[in-house]
Amino acid sequence: MSVQKRWDLFCHVVDNLGDIGFAWRLARQLVAEQAQQVRLFLDDFAAFAHICPQVQPKAAEQTIAGVQIVQWARQSQATPGDVVIELFGCNLSEAYIAQIAKARIPPVWLNLEHLSAEGWVDHHHLKPSPQPGGIVKHFFYPGFTAETGGLLRERGLTQQRDAWQMQPAARRIALRTLGLPPPPEHALTVLLFSYARPQLDGWLSAMAADPRPTALWVCPGPSLQAISAWLDMDLLNGQVTSRGSLTICAVPYVAQERFDELLWAADVCIVRGEDSFVRAQWAAKPFIWHIYPQEDGAHHRKIDAFLDRYLADAERELRDAVIHLWAAWNRGLDLAPAWTGFIDHLPALRRHAASWARQLEARPDLATQLVDAVARLRGERTTVPVANKG
């Protein structure tokens, strides 16, 4: 167990749920698994409330799951902790930085960056970034290789997932709690959590016309609007409707601790951003990644880099099926033909996803690596962490 330190995490929400999604998962893990003392400075409580319903949006400070949650503006009067984590390059206030500069023992200051499977990440992880006044900040890069900071993974996650999947009752109860009807017998179940994209109609019509029933669970967000347009009705949270073989359920927001269950219950997961992308991999399910679009097209390079790793040992046909559907999804092309090719390979895709999850699990999780990196930067430790199973 590591020496307890005071951690300050800073989360500026750019958009959507991913910034706070990552911050909240990391903060909870540092407290629950690493016995650290964590303060989370946050600037968007409306986004947080979607994934943590018990939050009090107006409270100056509050403690949930052992994490002290503080309004962003209060950093100006705060004394820095032993560790300062700036998430995704968010800017700290000048007053707080001045306090860092004045500290007798300077805190370890890290900029925790976005996840990417690109090779350059290996060379930038834990590199220093000198700041004015002689302070040094370091980069911390999540990633898929031994040279990076790894991926967030709670202790015992795999065992919890497997135990859940062994019990059909767990799935029934989870769906009932979410207000979702049990899917038709032998139905294909698909979870949809994506950004806006054109051309969903051909895909929806193909599923409606397929002899095999499909249950499509749609998370709140832009895809619900596109689906409502195809249905020619406003599909509201919690509502269910059918067209031919396709049953569509609008899933209300679920607390982050229960988000995994949606993935575990589905046969195919369509996920986005960063955190749900990682959770689909821990769910060991065939999945499609709708990557966060960037103006310069950098997201296409990121997908290619990930697929190079993910499909490195896959059979040719399986590779083609995945590449074809992910390209169609991310480039706004007609999905119907690529979808059929993907679904035809489901059993092999399932085996592949399970083997990929096992490979990733062999590496230490991100929170363990972060705690270790901090100890090493403070000169307290020189060893490299080993994977904590599950």
295 is catalytic: no
- Minimum Å distance from CB 25 to ligand TRH? 6
CA atoms within 13 A on the CB side of 57: 9
**Contact predicate 46/337, CB 8 Å:** no
- Minimum Å distance from CB 262 to ligand TRH? 7
Comparing CB distances to ligand TRH, the nearer of 21 and 213 is 21
Comparing CB distances to ligand TRH, the nearer of 102 and 258 is 258
Comparing CB distances to ligand TRH, the nearer of 49 and 346 is 49
- Minimum Å distance from CB 22 to ligand TRH? 7
Which listed residue (113, 261, 274, 372) is catalytic? 274
Structure token pair of residue 279: 């959770």
Comparing CB distances to ligand TRH, the nearer of 208 and 271 is 271
Comparing CB distances to ligand TRH, the nearer of 16 and 165 is 16
Comparing CB distances to ligand TRH, the nearer of 17 and 335 is 17
- Minimum Å distance from CB 106 to ligand TRH? 29
- Minimum Å distance from CB 185 to ligand TRH? 26
274 is catalytic: yes
**Contacting positions for ligand TRH (CB under 6 A):** 14-19, 21, 51, 193, 219, 253-254, 256, 259, 272-277, 292
The residues pairing with 191 across neighbouring beta strands, listed in sequence order, are 217, 269
What is the SS3 string spanning the chain? Answer: CCCCCEEEEEECCCCCCHHHHHHHHHHHHHHHCCCCEEEEEECCHHHHHHHCCCCCCCCCEEEECCEEEEEHHHHHHCCCCCEEEEECCCCCCHHHHHHHHHCCCCCEEEEECCCCCCCHHHHHCCCEEECHHHCEEEEECCCCCCCCCCCCCCCCHHHHHHHHHHCHHHHHHHHHHCCCCCCCCCCEEEEECCCCCCCCHHHHHHHHHCCCCEEEEECCCHHHHHHHHHHCCCCCCCCEEEECCEEEEECCCCCHHHHHHHHHHCCEEEEECCHHHHHHHHCCCCEEEECCCCCCCHHHHHHHHHHHHHCCCCCHHHHHHHHHHHHHHHCCCCCHHHHHHHHCCHHHHHHHHHHHHHHHHCCCCHHHHHHHHHHHHCCCCCCCCCCCCC
- Minimum Å distance from CB 294 to ligand TRH? 9
The residues pairing with 358 across neighbouring beta strands, listed in sequence order, are none
Q: Are strands 268-272 and 287-290 parallel, antiparallel or unpaired?
A: parallel
- Minimum Å distance from CB 184 to ligand TRH? 23
Catalytic residues: 19, 274
